[in-house]
Structures are given as C-alpha cells and as structure tokens.
A and B are shown apart, each in its own frame.
Chain A
Amino acid sequence: MTNFAEIKNTPHVRNDSQHLPRRAMVRALPIVFATAFVMPGVIAPLPASAADNAVTVEISNFVYSPKVITVAPGTTVTWVNHDDIPHTVTATEEAFRSPPLDTEDTFKFTFTTPGEYAYFCALHPQMTGGVVVKPAAG
C-alpha cells in the first residue's frame, strides 16, 4: 500500500486540493482512492458508500492521469486541466462532453450507470482515457 506522502511525490500525481474549488476541497480524496492514482489502469477497491465519493483526474502534459479509473455508480469524477493549452473531456459514445477546459478549469460528471466509458480530447485526440463504472464487490 502506497502511503499518501509517496503519492504526493509521484510524477503526474499532484495533491491538488489547492487547485480545486472549496466544494471539492471538502470532498478531499480518501487515501484509498488516491492509491489508484499511482497505478493508472489498476482497479482500486471501493467502499460500498461510493455515492458520496469524488475522484479527480488530472490533465498535465497532454495526459489524463490516471488514464483509466474504476468507480462505483454515483461517483462524481472531476477533471482538472493543468496545461497552458485547453483540452476537452469528450466521451467516445457521447455520454458526456465537456466544454473546452482552459488552464485550471474543471469538468464534473456523475456516473450513475455501470459500464465502460472511453473518452478523449476533441482538440488533441491522441489523448485518451477511460472510466469503468461498476458496483463495488461484495
């Protein structure tokens, strides 16, 4: 288990509460979620009470990080763009589509329906990511 101090020092993973609006700060990430951020693509265990949870995907250097996240239904995912250039979060199957996110802009989407949601940046389509929505095991 990676501890929080290590997470903070991992490239592409930033302790970003200072970049987020106050509302998001209130919902600071539990360590159990942050663990997933150091292992893009790895499925993190989620507690049953996922409806209260928020997950943040950072956009830096034209990369979504983590690239793939797995969340429980009801989870709100927030994307934050840290680049000097706008990006979008655009679902391949049109489930969601952000406006262009300028520097430090955020986009939130609450995933209610289980499934796999691929997304990309409509400006820089080589940037891709995914959200897997499924009920927590047990």
Chain B
Amino acid sequence: MDKSDNSLAADAGGNDITRRGFLECMTWAGTGVLWAVSGGLPQAVGLGSALAAERVAKPFTFLQISDSHIGFSKAANPDTLTTLGEAVAKIKALPQKPSFIIHTGDISHLSKDEQFDNADQIIREVGLPVFYVPGEHDVLDPGQGKSYLDRYGKGSMGAGWYSFEHNGVHFIGLVNVVNLKAGGLGNLGDEQLEWLEKDLAGLSASTPIVVFAHIPLWAAYPEWGWGTDDSAQALSYLKRFGSVTVLNGHIHQIMQKVEGNISFHTARSTAYPQPEPGKAPAPGPLQVPAGELRNYLGVTTVDFIQGDKPLAIVDSALAG
C-alpha cells in the first residue's frame, strides 16, 4: 500500500464521513497524525463549494503527536526519548511541511522539569509551532498543573484551554485531566464548558471545527476510564456545526468513530502501546515482543481533500 497515494481514499467506501468531513485521513502507524485541511464545507450541509473556498484561503496540513511520556523507562519502552526523536525525524522528512503540530498531552511521565525540558528539546527540532493540551501525567507537580501552565499555558484560560483560527478552521484545545472526581472519568468542568459555549457562539455553522484534548471526549472504554464525564455537554454545543473533528490521545492506540456531524480520532503514543479495550486486566503499558515496538509506534497521517472522497486512513509501521 502506497501511503502517499491519496486515491486510496476511494477504497474506504460507504463511510459517510466524506459527505460532511473536511478532513481526510492518511495514517502512518502511530507517532503522529498529519492532518491536511483543504477546502471548507462538505456538501452534506448544503452550502456551495464556492463559499467554502472563500472561507478557507488555502489548504494546509497539521500534525498530531501524543503521549510522549518522557521519563517513562520501564520494559514496555526503556527509551521514550529515542522514539520521540524518531517521530520528530518522520515529521521533518514529510514532503509537505505541516503548518503546526498539536500535542495531545502526556508530554511527560511525572511532570518533572527535566522531563518537560527533554521533551521540549526534541520537539523543538521540528521547527514548527506546537499547540499543547495537558494529559493527566502533565499535572502531577505539587502545584497540580502550575508547571505545565508556566511552560505551555501562555494565553490560555483556566487549566490551559484556548482556541485559535487557522485558515478559516477554528481549533479548540480543551483540558479534561484536572479536578477529576472519585469514580469518574475525564472532566471538563462548568467553567470550561461555559467558556466553550461562548467561544463557539460567534461562529458561523459553516466554520470547520477541530477540538483536541487528552482523554477521549467520547465513551471509548469507560471501564478503563477512557471517556469524559461531561463531554456530552461540550458536544451539544458542536451539533450545529457542519464539520467537527475531535482529536484525542490517552489510550495509545488508534480508535475512530463517527457520530452525526462529529468524527472522533485517537492517536497512538510515541512511547508505548496500551492494550486493546478489555484485552488485559488493566490499561497499563503493553510490553510487546522484543523488536516489535516500532510496529506499534508508527505515525498516523490523516489527510483531507475537499469533495466527496471518503476518509482515508493508511497505517504503516515505523519499522520497515
């Protein structure tokens, strides 16, 4: 399978993401997700492509990496710095330079300064802007997230949430890893939900939306905590938009789902895999046979082409 061949899109057949989607996926197995945004509105929402073309001045790509867990050194991957470095090398080698990178959290393993430092040093080599949201491993300092905010939270609200525009696409970074409640899942909280509602209020329904957060904003596997208690409230604010894409990390594997106008994707980790839902006693690091780690840590490239083409996901392992 040729991962550079966008015509693979047509093979996905019958997936109605395409009628409304503005993102088309092309997947490398796991260290990052490359998103190419081209065009504006899908035909499904009934607006003309000419209008869409006006809204999105020019196509662009961006890339998602996740769950670097710098500082983790157990058997599942004793050298998370090296695998992050390999992901960075992959990104630098891309023929089309992404506009920016989104990191969906768990940059560090234990929120230690040297872990953030080491991650930053490697990620900086890409030479692109990076937009972060924290994972639960990034808010373990005594200040419960202060270290993260001091480094990455400039211009953000609350525990680190924010939004920005790029070429007509509205990006929203949410934080669902603080103030977690006993027995619960990920948590956005009332303050952030109110902010989100206001943030979206002024936007036309034709604006493509990309939401990113660490823990899945859908019930990926609540038995293992893979979901967010109050995500339904957040998603209700997104219903009126024609095209919404939700990008998450946390579960260290690719899962996808389409619900109404919203498509959900999770990225693989750059550090170590986790078991498939329910296939182990607990969701801890999964140790794979020696030499196979990079089969689990590829890069996921997702590419969107305007029009009626299906979402295309192409996985290729880092190894080989």
A-contacting residues, B66-119, CB 8 Å: 74-76, 109-111
Query: Does A115 interact with chain B (Cβ within 8 Å)?
Result: no
Q: A2-10, A39-47, A82-90: which one contacts chain B? A: A82-90
Count of A-B contacts judged by CB separation below 8 Å: 58
Min CB distance B190 to A, Å, is 17
For residue A123, which residue of chain B has the nearest CB? B136
Q: Inside 8 A of A17's CB, which chain B residues have their CB?
A: none
Does A120 lie within 8 Å of B283, measured CB to CB?
Answer: no
Interface of B is mostly: loop
Q: Inside 8 A of A92's CB, which chain B residues have their CB?
A: 182
Q: A22-30, A68-76, A97-105, A106-114: which one contacts chain B? A: A97-105
Taken together as a complex, chains A and B put the C-alpha atoms of A136 and B76 apart, in Å, by 45
Taken together as a complex, chains A and B put the C-alpha atoms of A61 and B74 apart, in Å, by 15
Q: Inside 8 A of B75's CB, which chain A residues have their CB?
A: 84
Does A124 lie within 8 Å of B285, measured CB to CB?
Answer: no
Does A120 lie within 8 Å of B182, measured CB to CB?
Answer: yes
Does B283 lie within 8 Å of A62, measured CB to CB?
Answer: yes
Does A123 lie within 8 Å of B282, measured CB to CB?
Answer: no
Min CB distance A97 to B, Å, is 10
Interface bracket on B: 20 to 34
Interface bracket on A: 20 to 34
Does B285 lie within 8 Å of A126, measured CB to CB?
Answer: no
* Chain B window 280-308, contacts with chain A (Cβ cutoff 8 Å), 1 for yes, 0 for no: 01111100000000000000000000000
Query: Does A37 interact with chain B (Cβ within 8 Å)?
Result: no
Q: Inside 8 A of B182's CB, which chain A residues have their CB?
A: 92, 118-120, 125, 128
Q: Inside 8 A of A126's CB, which chain B residues have their CB?
A: 183-185, 223-225
For residue B285, which residue of chain A has the nearest CB? A84
A100-B140, A102-B110, A124-B225 known; A61 vs B281 contact (CB < 8 Å): yes
Q: Inside 8 A of B225's CB, which chain A residues have their CB?
A: 124-126
Residues of A in contact with B (beta carbons under 8 Å apart): 61-63, 83-86, 88, 92, 99-100, 102-103, 118-120, 122-126, 128
Residues of B in contact with A (beta carbons under 8 Å apart): 74-76, 109-111, 136-137, 140, 142, 180-185, 223-225, 281-285
The 8 closest A-B CB pairs, nearest first, are A120-B182, A61-B282, A62-B282, A125-B180, A100-B140, A61-B281, A84-B74, A126-B225
Known: A61-B284, A84-B74, A125-B180. 4 other contacts (CB 8 A): A92-B182, A100-B111, A126-B224, A128-B182
